[in-house]
Amino acid sequence: MKSGSGSPFDDFDEDEEEEEAPEPETESTIDADSQETDSSESSLDDGLPYKYQRENIQDGRNRANLFLRDEAEADIERLIEVMEDEFESEAVYKIDVLEAALIAAAGNPASVSEELREMGYGMK
């Protein structure tokens, strides 16, 4: 490109555009992209607990909007305080407590169904 003159595209040859046009995304391109994603996910599975594998709080997590009633939000805040007391030498993040609570609840479906009944499920 000539210094200080015109557009950076002045030297662009239209014939070159046809020859060097970017290839459309093919399976191999997509596979390369997914391998990149897979490798970043697999880096979170090296035998260490999740807390020590991640570079930041969002690593390996999908975004999920969560709408909570005031009562549930207060319960989570109390649970965070309990966990901070339990692990007093470490910072305990709300997202970790929420995820742990969901995993624990998934392991105890009876407590989840009990809570859903209190919400009004099963009243038909």
CA 124 to chain centre: 37
pLDDT at residue 4 in the model: 54
Task: Give the type of residue at 25.
Answer: E
Average pLDDT over residues 106-121: 97
Q: What is the Cα–Cα distance from 100 to 105, expressed in whole angstroms? A: 8
Which has more confidence, 6 or 12?
6
118: which 2 tokens?
């209190």
pTM assigned to the model: 0.60
Average pLDDT over residues 99-122: 96
